[in-house]
A and B are shown apart, each in its own frame.
Chain A
Amino acid sequence: MKRKNRWFWLGLLPFVAMVALFQLVPIVSMVTGSVSSGSGLTFEYYIRVFQSEYYLKAIKNSLLISIFSSVIGVVAGLVFAYSITRFSPKMRDRLIMLSNMTSNFAGVPLAFAYIILLGSNGVFTLLFRQWGWDVFAGFDLYSWSGLVLVYVYFQVPLALLLLYPSFYGIREQWKEAASLLGAGTWQFWRTIGIPVLLPAVFGTLGILFANSMGAYATAYALVGSNFNLLAVRIGNLVSGDVVSEPQLGNVLAVILALSTLLAVYLNHKMIQRAQRFQPGSADRKASVRRKNFKLKTSRLKEEL
């Protein structure tokens, strides 16, 4: 027994050390940093953030852009995911693979691609101008609408991948049973299909929200510090483009972390609910496969 324990500790020690050093200590340090002044406990910086129009605006912008891009992403994801289920299995796998492939294209390269397409000297910008399509004249990639456009781009494949399996949770026999009991297609979706999908939809919304709240690379590459976003503000405060108070950075980081934690928690709860709808008999192989799938999907985060 003793010998066994020693082996255990030897094996676990490096892991525990790494997690403590690079995950727990920084988080604790950040939280304490947000409430400590030179001498002791203080909430001064929180008060300052919540009284500063500038930072409130950053929070508001981040929330808005995240909500917008997540909702659009989920709606588009639902439509596309349903559409994909109508194809043959082979085609389905191919479509999913292609969608996954593009998800590697994120962060800095993505922002750059959009600059090529729609930037102030972008191909489409110049083409539209030449063709006299004035509708697009008002569009500015480096503004709010531009950011939403780019954010939606990396949200859609993620939403697609997260939602697509839940359409398979809706079993063909439910539709058949409903039709024998007198339900039309729309009635089926209203009474069975959509309610069953709902946890997955909200769960996905949570992931997308967290994803875009934390997104930094895309925004940084696209608008630099010109656009007032929470993640960009934090980056600036800490990396010292503007020499200032790091405590404010800590406070903003805590706020951001709280919002994403909340969203991920929502996702967690929703997954639990969705599992209620899954009929039992999920043998282990299936659950392992599902986990592998989850592993793959997690790759899709815009950035970590």
Chain B
Amino acid sequence: MQASGERRAGWGHRTLMVVLLVYLFLPLLATFIYAFAKDWQATILPERWTLEWFGEMFTDVRFMDALWKSLYLCLISVALSLVVMLPAVFIITVYLPGLESFMKGVVVLPYAVPGVVAAVGLIRAYSSGPINISGTAFILIGAYFVIILPYMYQGIRNSLLTVSAVELLGAAEMLGASRMKAFITVILPNIWPGVMTSTLLSFSVLFGEFVLTNMLVGGHIQTIQVYLMRRMNESGHLASAIAISYFLFILVLSMVLMQLGKKVNKGMSK
């Protein structure tokens, strides 16, 4: 009990960590500097700095358009997922636990099947025949739904288990609440922080999605990632500004996520 916690890492370990951090942050740093550099060649740091790339970014109509499209596509997908997954996971976890192993299989598939493969299947299934939705937002939202399936399922299920939903529900019903009422007044408020966490996580995953977006609707709908790809070859500095803004956005999102996570954990240990 007293043995650990007092040790300090030696020089070897510290050096190793510095190496790791430099390695991991160097590309980020480079992008960051590049976004603020007037030009940058053959010197360790650029000689002249500028904000003009960020200015250009915000006045670029196509960028704002792509940003807007990314935002609403992600929001719609996450909202749809929430509406569909909440009752389904609740029913399965609480009333049909026999289905859980089957669900695990369903949920692990998006992990095991890479985006390119999923895109191939989706294109073949929906570019002709009765449901012809290729190149539209519908197919993309469907694909997004599948991408975030694991996060949403795990998040909701863990929250339900953490708050002991079955016992809570039983208690509420014993006190005279109807099942629906019990779900809304007792379960939902309790699982909300956990569910929010996985929702935000899903959002950030979708925001960074490129493969499926590019392959399914790349020609028709430009999200921020697709736009970034297009602009990369034209103006490196502008692309850097976009990449850094994107990264900062995701960073803020994950900070919020972490705070939420802490809250959930605290609630759990109470």
CB of A29 within 8 A of CB of B121, answer: yes
B149 interface hit (Cβ, 8 Å): yes
Residues of A within 8 A of B240 (CB): 112, 116
CB of A19 within 8 A of CB of B113, answer: no
CB of B13 within 8 A of CB of A86, answer: yes
Interface residues in B, total, Cβ within 8 A:
102
The digit string for B29-44, where 1 denotes a CB below 8 A from any CB of A, is 0110010000011111
Residues of A within 8 A of B246 (CB): 109
* Interface-facing stretch out of B3-11, B48-56, B65-73, B184-192: B3-11
Kindly identify which residue among B3, B120, B209 contacts A30, using a CB–CB cutoff of 8 Å.
B120
B125 interface hit (Cβ, 8 Å): yes
The digit string for A116-132, where 1 denotes a CB below 8 A from any CB of B, is 11000101001101100
CB of B215 within 8 A of CB of A18, answer: no
CB of B251 within 8 A of CB of A104, answer: yes
Closest to B210 in A: A217
- CB-defined A-B contacts under 8 Å, sample of 29: A4-B95, A14-B88, A15-B85, A23-B110, A23-B149, A26-B118, A27-B121, A83-B20, A86-B7, A95-B17, A95-B21, A109-B246, A113-B31, A114-B27, A115-B236, A116-B31, A117-B27, A157-B24, A214-B116, A234-B116, A249-B120, A250-B120, A254-B117, A260-B117, A295-B158, A299-B151, A299-B201, A303-B208, A303-B209
A227 interface hit (Cβ, 8 Å): no
CB of B243 within 8 A of CB of A113, answer: yes
Closest to B113 in A: A257
A201 interface hit (Cβ, 8 Å): no
The digit string for B225-266, where 1 denotes a CB below 8 A from any CB of A, is 100110010001001100100110011001000100100110
CB of A288 within 8 A of CB of B247, answer: no
Q: Which of A108, A238, A285 has the most CB of B within 10 A?
A: A108
A103 to B118, CA, bound (A): 23
CB of B158 within 8 A of CB of A292, answer: yes
Closest to B115 in A: A304
CB of A130 within 8 A of CB of B42, answer: yes
Interface residues in A, total, Cβ within 8 A:
99
| B interface: dominant SS | helix
B122 interface hit (Cβ, 8 Å): yes
The digit string for A1-33, where 1 denotes a CB below 8 A from any CB of B, is 000100110011011101101110111111001
Kindly identify which residue among B116, B125, B151, B155 contacts A26, using a CB–CB cutoff of 8 Å.
B125
The digit string for A80-101, where 1 denotes a CB below 8 A from any CB of B, is 1001101111010001011111
The digit string for A262-304, where 1 denotes a CB below 8 A from any CB of B, is 0111001000000000000000110011011011101101011
CB of A214 within 8 A of CB of B28, answer: no
Residues of A within 8 A of B97 (CB): none
Residues of A within 8 A of B20 (CB): 80, 83, 95, 99, 156
Task: List residues 242-261 of chain A with CB under 8 A from any CB of chain B.
Answer: 246, 249-250, 253-254, 256-257, 260-261
CB of A30 within 8 A of CB of B205, answer: no
A30 to B126, CA, bound (A): 11
Known: A105-B27, A257-B114, A304-B110. A22 touches B142 (CB 8 A): yes
Residues of A within 8 A of B174 (CB): none
A294 to B210, CA, bound (A): 23
Known: A83-B16, A214-B114, A261-B113. A172 touches B210 (CB 8 A): no
Closest chain B CB from A175 CB (angstroms): 10
CB of A112 within 8 A of CB of B239, answer: yes
CB of A26 within 8 A of CB of B121, answer: yes
